[in-house]
Amino acid sequence: MDFNQILTDLKNKTYKPVYFLMGEETYFIDEITNYISANVLTETEKVFNHIVLYGKDIDAVAVIDAARRYPMMASHQIVIVKEAQNIRNIEELIHYTDKPLKSTILVINYKYKTLDKRKKLYTSIDKNGVVLNAEKLYESKVPDWISKYLAQNGFSISPESGALLTEFLGNDLGKIVNELSKLIITIPANTKRITTDMIEKNIGISKEFNNFELQKALVARDVLKSNRIIDYFEKNPKDNPFILTVSSLSSFFQKIFIYHFLKDKSKGNVAAALKINPYFVSEYEIAAKRYIPAKLVEIFSMLREYDLKSKGVGNTSASDGDLLKEMIYRIIH
């Protein structure tokens, strides 16, 4: 089952006896765990029926013993196992998951790892409970996720603002939600649209000086704007590391290269092939006219060259700022 379906079932009070929540994206794991913890039992019922265990301190037998208890003066008891990836003999949980109690909701947090689908324990839980594989989202999918998340909370956001947040925060959904929550608190009560001005003011992301704007300046071959952005990066290296800029430009120019060889250049197909919001397709159309395949091959070579120089290969004195200025000059000219 996916995250949304699990949460929908929980809100409809459709409970499973076992929830095995595994994977890299801890935001989904925490959201489901927190919802169960906060909503299944009343505060009074929690006194005797809400147990939290930690994998580093217990073994599978301790989990089974806790799960086999019956609830006291409540319809359910909740047993949450955090850090379950640290339970060495976790396979022994099958002695419980084969025949779990319907009155127990066992929630197992198995973060940063996944259980082998070929294992009997996986099959057992999948049959009698719920398994969630919480995978990290590709950054190309994050702006759309941000838009949907805000829509669920009564807000909207422009594609540029979503892309800006992704550029700055990456695909760490927990971090993104934390920043959005702080942002929502600060904006006027009657405001329902998140703008780049709000993001700049409240989150500290410059709407003018970022890798997203640098890409646009390079497409326009705007030397002045490019230099202004580079100067800002040089003065704020902590927020704009050289390696992140190289990575961002590499991804951007790779998409332009792919665009050149697409037979179907319709808006929908380009968006799907490049994994971008359809809103940005026109920018890649313009970029492809400015950067032909031969030039792009040169740029890829430059990016590798300056990435190595930033790590000290063939460079003994130039700073990251100097390297960036030289690289951008060569890309534009």
Q: What is the pLDDT of residues 203-252, one digit of tens each?
A: 878 888 899 899 999 999 999 999 999 999 998 888 888 998 999 999 99
Q: CATH topology for 211-332?
A: Zinc Finger, Delta Prime; domain 3 (1.20.272)
pLDDT at 265: 93
Residues 6+ apart with CB under 8 A from 229: 208, 209, 210, 213, 214, 217
CATH of 3-133, one of 3.40.718.10, 3.30.1200.10, 3.40.50.300, 3.40.50.410: 3.40.50.300
pLDDT at 240: 86
Query: Which residues in the chain come in under a pLDDT of 70?
Result: none
3-state SS track over the chain: CCHHHHHHHHHCCCCCCEEEEEECCHHHHHHHHHHHHHHCCCHHHHHHHEEEEEHHHCCHHHHHHHHCCCCCCCCCEEEEEECHHHCCCHHHHHHHHCCCCCCEEEEEEEECCCCCCCCHHHHHHHHHCEEEECCCCCHHHHHHHHHHHHHHCCCEECHHHHHHHHHHHCCCHHHHHHHHHHHHHHCCCCCCEECHHHHHHHHCCCCCCCHHHHHHHHHCCCHHHHHHHHHHHHHCCCCCCHHHHHHHHHHHHHHHHHHHCCCCCCHHHHHHHHCCCHHHHHHHHHHHHHCCHHHHHHHHHHHHHHHHHHCCCCCCCCCHHHHHHHHHHHHHC
- List the domain boundaries for the chain: 3-133, 139-203, 211-332
pLDDT at 174: 92
pLDDT at 94: 97
Q: CATH topology for 139-203?
A: Helicase, Ruva Protein; domain 3 (1.10.8)
> Which among 166, 116, 119 is positioned nearest to 141, based on CA atoms?
166
Q: Do domains 3-133 and 139-203 have the same CATH topology?
A: no
